[in-house]
Homo-oligomer: A and B are copies of this chain.
Amino acid sequence: MKVKDQFTVVPEGTITTPKGFRAGGLHCGLKKTNRFDLGVIVCEVPAQAAGVYTLNAFQAAPLRVTQESVAVDGKLQAMLVNSGNANACTGQQGEDDARGMRSAAAKAFGVAEHLVGVTSTGVIGELLPMPKVLSGIEKLPTQVKADGGEDFCQAILTTDLVQKMTCVRLTVGGKTVHIAGAAKGSGMIHPNMATMLGFMTTDANIESAQLQKLLNGVTDSTFNMITVDGDTSTNDMVVVMASGLADNDILTPEHPDWEAFEAGFKYVGEYLAKAIARDGEGATKLIEVSVLGAASQEAARAIAKTVIGSSLVKTACFGADANWGRIIAAVGRSGQPVNTETVDIRLGDNVVLEQSRPVKFDEERAADYLKGELVQIVVNLNMGSESATAWGCDLTYDYVRINAAYRT
């Protein structure tokens, strides 16, 4: 992504770069290997908070508990996460366990219960081994440090291969403000409100309600525009915490630096969303589908998501096969209005369809392009001026291998 003049990417930045945040992680025994499976972000002060949550009807217990916490007065001071077990579809016991985690974390970090959020990711339908979790939470305060962003990132991963984090810096009313993010997500990823675990921190001075509006808008064009396999998880959420310690004049849409803040915020969201798509289970490449010239924003998004979600498009990208017929077939089944006479398609700069007519193109050159790590598919409907972009990944042998034996 082209970085705007409005903000600067902080190369080694993590979620603890914004003022007031520390983080940490440890292995408490939920994962079979010795990898970290419990993590926390802690703020010096109660932070203004906002969140978006999965639309799956079977929302996991910890998400309900986090929503309860934020509802009290729009603040969070500690955000606790475990990986290896989703605590989803676990009934009343699961609710009790999520509350038990919250209460133990409140005690460990000396904050009120309603200032603690909890979330879980991993296998669905198994009860948490609470003795392990509670003993881990007790030890967590000693693991929390100012440079603990990477440890936290480790603790939230499941089938992810890489850590996903970024941080930007900008100036708000003369004060330096940071916005940072970390995320996990590799499978069961499909746009429907939040579709993974995302954590954003900022030291900006901004109120919870404003933060929520900003998060909703950014989620629609970033986290909701990625798919790995079309499956929306029971557990996914994005939470933002703002410490206010940058000491800027409070941020509202009327603030002269609001646009810069919004741009930085969106950069972090889009960076994390693309990182999740690129690290999709078994993926060898990031696929970016841009739909231009749509009659409405809704149509542009729906078509981009249909193309990025097509198993046939995904396998063709894996095989470096410029099979644009699969792209147009996906456009055609999107349920959106399309003019079947005016569609252009290009793969990078390889034009393959113009005004819905096949163009003779250099197959070898197109195949070389498709072998790269980034495939950009551009569909121009030539019907209007709206556009949207969606991100996903190729469908590979490794996706099947990983998912044919996830639990066993």
Contacts and interface: CB of A to CB of B under 8 A. Distances in A.
Interface of A: 55-59, 86, 88-91, 123-127, 187-188, 190, 192, 229-234, 309-312, 315-316, 318-319, 321, 323-326, 328-333, 338, 340, 353, 356-358, 395-397, 399-401, 403-408
Given A56-B329, A89-B353, A400 B395 contact: yes
B353 A57 contact: no
A59 B408 CA distance: 44
Given A59-B332, A395-B400, 14 more contacts: A56-B333, A57-B338, A58-B331, A89-B328, A89-B353, A123-B325, A231-B329, A232-B333, A233-B329, A234-B329, A321-B406, A321-B407, A396-B400, A397-B401
Contacts of A86: 325
A340 B321 CA distance: 43
Nearest to A396: B400
Contacts of A89: 325, 328, 353, 356, 358
A112 B351 CA distance: 42
B232 A326 contact: no
B397 A315 contact: no
B357 A91 contact: yes
Nearest to A359: B125
Top-5 shortest CB links A-B: A124-B325, A319-B404, A315-B403, A58-B332, A57-B332
Contacts of A395: 400, 403
A396 B405 CA distance: 12
Nearest to A187: B312
5 contacts: A55-B333, A58-B331, A232-B332, A316-B406, A319-B408
A230 B310 CA distance: 7
A332 B86 CA distance: 15
Contacts of A188: 312, 326, 329
A64 to B, nearest CB: 11
A70 B375 CA distance: 43
Contacts of A190: 333
Contacts of A232: 329, 332-333
Nearest to A323: B407
A407 B312 CA distance: 12
Q: By CB atoms of chain B within 10 A, which of A57, A126, A234, A340 has the most?
A: A57
Contact of A358 (B90, B331, B338, B340): B90
Nearest to A318: B404
Nearest to A313: B231
A404 B329 contact: no
Given A89-B328, A231-B311, A340-B58, A404 B316 contact: yes
Given A312-B403, A353-B89, A358-B90, A56 B125 contact: no
A250 to B, nearest CB: 38
Nearest to A408: B321
A323 B122 CA distance: 12
Given A333-B56, A358-B90, A407-B323, A230 B231 contact: no
